[in-house]
Amino acid sequence: METIYILGSGTIGFALAANLAHAGREVIAARTSRDDIPKTTIPVVVGMAENQIKASIETISLSKLSHLEGILVITAKSYANESIAAQLRGKTADSPIILLQNGVGVEKPFLNAGFSQVYRCVLYATSQAASENEFRFRPITASPIGIIHGDEAGLNHCVSALHTDRFPFRAEADIQREVWKKAIINAVFNSICPLLEVDNGIFVRDEQVRELAIDVVQECVMLVEKLKIDLTQAEIMEQLLVISKRSDGQLISTLQDIQAGRQTEIDSLNLEIARIAASMQVEVPKTELLGKMILAKSQKTIRPIHE
């Protein structure tokens, strides 16, 4: 049976690992930021109240794995990609790499390292730790996976390997459009919610906050028009409000990271969008300011990493 390696054992990584194990797939969760984790098996509980599953997940430090043959799913935060790509050199030849991460351009370290199969997944699910090994996971809709470097056969194989009824995936031909749509949505959720210290449902509940979200989306739509990506403000806001409603009461990952003293992914979201906008002479002042405020807020709380 083909092994699926989940690199980055956080709230999404463990939720995915548990769903795959529950469906009978062979899964190993590899910790990417620590090298002192021996090979062990831990019990994981995933789901909401009456719809929970339990699975035993084999875990180990990535540094202790000398060879990886199977499917590699990167769920670690995008700021770790340079380090992960470097660690994977020599450990795998042509195994497909699926980046299940937020942000724009997060695939660059793996392309620069010469990996032959690189796919992007745009995540439409939320997960929040209830305790050390228990996670409140909720899918929003099927998460699209598309080709960055590879072929259609490889893409379909990856989708089939990862898809379960509880954590669904689908193949997507125009993945860059999906990447940018979700990046804009994330630029809203991952800046406004942490700054206000509120849950994801705020955009449905509060008109004033929703207006701020619209301002950010309007700025970003001006940029994607320059990039020749077919996205509209109405489409993005519709998706944003669906996510807000379906994840009401849950905390966005950036707020969870700030509360836990961890580094955030804001550099791949608002700040990367701002850099791209500047290079194309497009102004995105609110998007950039919100990103800078998150960066400042997170830097006051960062503690040493213990994944």
Which domains does the chain carry? Answer: 3-173 (3.40.50.720), 176-299 (1.10.1040.10)
With a pLDDT cut of 90, the percent of the chain lying above it is 84
The alpha carbon of residue 291 and the mean position of all alpha carbons in its chain are separated, in whole angstroms, by 17
Kindly indicate the confidence band of residue 303, based on its pLDDT and cuts at 50, 70 and 90.
low
Distance spanning both ends of the chain, measured CA to CA: 28
Mean pLDDT of the chain: 94
Residue with tokens 């996971």, as numbered in its chain = 137
pLDDT digits (tens, 9 = 90+) for 179-207: 999 999 999 999 999 999 999 999 999 99
At residue 307, the pLDDT reads 42
Calpha distance 296→273 (Å, rounded) = 17
pLDDT digits (tens, 9 = 90+) for 77-102: 999 999 999 999 989 878 999 999 99
pTM, to two decimals: 0.89
Q: Read off the pLDDT of each residue in 35-52 and give the average, rounded to a whole number.
A: 86
Asked if residue 306 has pLDDT above 50, the reply is no
Asked if residue 237 has pLDDT above 60, the reply is yes
At residue 38, the pLDDT reads 83
Burial class (CB in 10 A: 0-12, 13-18, 19+), 249: exposed
